[in-house]
Amino acid sequence: MDAEERIARGLLYTEDDAAFLSGGRRADLLFEYNRTPPGAVEARTRLLGRILGSVGRNPVIASPLHAAYGSNVHIGDDFYGNVNLTLVDDVEIRIGDGVMIAPSCTLTTTGHPVHPALRHDYNRFSEPIVLADRVWLGSNVVVLPGVTIGYGAVIGAGSVVSKDVPPMVVALGVPCRPVREISDADLDQRQPPR
């Protein structure tokens, strides 16, 4: 089995195995993006289009933005990512429409084996991450490899998400777990400006 197939199946692969992925790294463009003034909206949007695999309409990502590659990240329309967003995108990260991510969040598709004998040559595994439409991640959330977060879910600040989260729930903690459903009663909690 070749390296590409091992990566696709979530099996272990080494740094040498991953060499063929290096063309997807966007380090210089990320550096340029992080040095572009916040008010230069058109320039920043153009740069995001060159850094990320795909970008929907009206993206806003505050600097600094960090990514392992950048090219494996796909964001939908009306995305908001606050400062210190870190995307470890050795494989795909798919983010839907209307997603909001608070400061200092990490989405990592890649992990390492627990046993030290298996960690030679940076041995690792990677599994895709999916954030469905209208997800909101609170500050300092970490999303681990292979996780899907369902439509409209809210992840509480400081959570570590190691398992899938169903749609329309508030989930939080270490490890993150659903604590309640989101319902129409939540429409009365905070009213939009009139």
At 89-148, the pLDDT tens digits run 999 999 999 999 999 999 999 999 999 999 988 899 999 999 999 999 999 999 999 999
Per-residue model confidence (pLDDT) at position 29:
96
Per-residue model confidence (pLDDT) at position 194:
53
Q: Which domain holds residue 13?
A: 3-182
Q: Would residue 7 count as lying in a domain?
A: yes
- Closest Cα partner for 20 from 3, 5, 37, 41? 3
Per-residue model confidence (pLDDT) at position 25:
87
Q: Would residue 143 count as lying in a domain?
A: yes
CA 123 vs CA 14, 16, 86, 87, 108: distances in Å? 4, 9, 21, 19, 15
Q: What's the structural domain count of the chain?
A: 1
Is the pTM higher than 0.85? yes
Residue 192 has pLDDT above 60, yes or no: no
Q: Would residue 194 count as lying in a domain?
A: no
Residue of 74, 112, 115, 120 marked active site:
112
Residues 6-34 have a mean pLDDT of 89
Q: For strand 73-75 and strand 106-108, is the pairing parallel, antiparallel, or unpaired?
A: unpaired
- Cα angle at 95 between 90 and 98, to 5 degrees? 155
Residue 54 has pLDDT above 90, yes or no: yes
Q: What is the CATH number of the domain that holds 102?
A: 2.160.10.10
Per-residue model confidence (pLDDT) at position 191:
60
Per the annotation, the verdict on 120 as an active-site residue is: no
Q: Would residue 187 count as lying in a domain?
A: no
